[in-house]
């Protein structure tokens, strides 16, 4: 099998845990599995724990222009845009992605009307995926909302772009825990889950494959999808049925 060179790619992991650093994040522990693959493949890695930053709520690019005293989002957005791949990590609370994950999606949406040098929406040519952890059900539900939102604003989603780990129904140890109620566990929780390990590996490589394809082809052609061209009257032979 031909070895591919992913070293020209970069990824940003955004951990949407509700825990501020340096408190342990179980979501971050699973993200480390994906990051280890990225490191092996010589991919540039950046990581943001959103709750550590003063990110205002809202759907405008800079919320200091809308009543907020402080908003670190514009600077974080520069880091996000410098990466070819975005991986959103979130815990599950009450069956849903975290409030930090929702805030992230809203702030990504705030920038989505911007355009690239082809006149396309700004996230065209970038690739997205997600990592979800929690106790009880919800991985697919959370991934559904996150991946839909990412593709809606312009990210490209490859096959099987999500992974996760959940424990049994009810209170219990979380991913990576080495003790439970003071009792040492034989192995860190979830580390021996073939399902989680496989899906995390497949997700990571699928993101890399799609990102590499897009990078090698300089993103998508802008025929039929340029917002700037549309605003300037281009319709690419589109025939509006209203005027037939």
Give the integer Cα–Cα distance in Å for 131 and 153. Answer: 19
Cβ-in-10-Å burial (0-12, 13-18, 19+) of 17 comes to buried
pLDDT, averaged across the chain: 95
Quote the CA–CA distance of 90 and 81 in Å, as a whole number: 20
In this prediction the pTM is: 0.94
pLDDT(137) > 70: yes
Residue-wise pLDDT tens digits, 93-117: 999 999 999 999 999 999 999 999 9
* Dihedral (Cα; 29, 184, 196, 134), 10-degree rounding: -70
Which residues contact residue 156 at a Cβ distance below 8 angstroms, ignoring those fewer than 6 apart?
125, 126, 127, 128, 210, 214
Q: Taking a C-beta distance cutoff of 8 angstroms, is the pair 31, 89 a contact?
A: yes
Q: What percent of the chain has pLDDT over 70?
A: 98
Buried b / exposed e along 207-222 (16+ C-beta atoms within 10 A) = bbebbbebbeeebbeb
* pLDDT tens-place string over residues 205-228: 999 999 999 999 999 999 999 999
For the cut 90, the answer to whether the pLDDT of residue 168 exceeds it is no
Residue 46: beta bridge partners?
12
What average pLDDT does this structure show over 193-214? 97
Q: Interior CA angle at 38 toward 197 and 187, to 5°?
A: 35
DSSP string, 215-229: HHTTS---TTT-HHH
């Amino acid at each position: 099998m031909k070895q591919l060179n992913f070293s020209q790619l970069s990824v940003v992991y955004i951990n949407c845990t509700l825990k501020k650093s340096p408190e342990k994040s179980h979501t971050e522990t699973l993200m480390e599995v994906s990051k280890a693959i990225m490191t092996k493949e010589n991919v540039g890695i950046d990581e943001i724990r959103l709750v550590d930053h003063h990110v205002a709520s809202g759907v405008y690019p800079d919320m200091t222009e809308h009543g907020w005293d402080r908003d670190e989002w514009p600077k974080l957005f520069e880091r996000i845009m410098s990466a070819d791949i975005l991986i959103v990590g979130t815990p599950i609370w009450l069956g849903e992605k975290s409030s930090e994950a929702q805030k992230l999606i809203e702030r990504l949406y705030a920038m989505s009307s911007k355009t690239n040098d082809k006149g396309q929406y700004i996230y065209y040519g970038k690739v997205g995926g997600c990592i979800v952890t929690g106790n009880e059900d919800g991985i697919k539900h959370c991934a559904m909302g996150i991946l839909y939102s990412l593709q809606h604003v312009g990210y490209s989603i490859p096959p099987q772009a999500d992974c996760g780990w959940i424990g049994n129904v009810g209170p219990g140890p979380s991913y990576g825990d080495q003790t439970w109620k003071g009792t040492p566990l034989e192995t860190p929780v979830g580390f021996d889950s073939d399902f989680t390990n496989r899906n995390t590996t497949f997700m990571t490589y699928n993101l890399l494959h799609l990102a590499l394809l897009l990078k090698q082809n300089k993103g998508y052609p802008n025929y039929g999808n340029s917002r700037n061209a549309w605003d300037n009257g281009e319709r690419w032979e589109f025939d509006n049925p209203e005027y037939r």
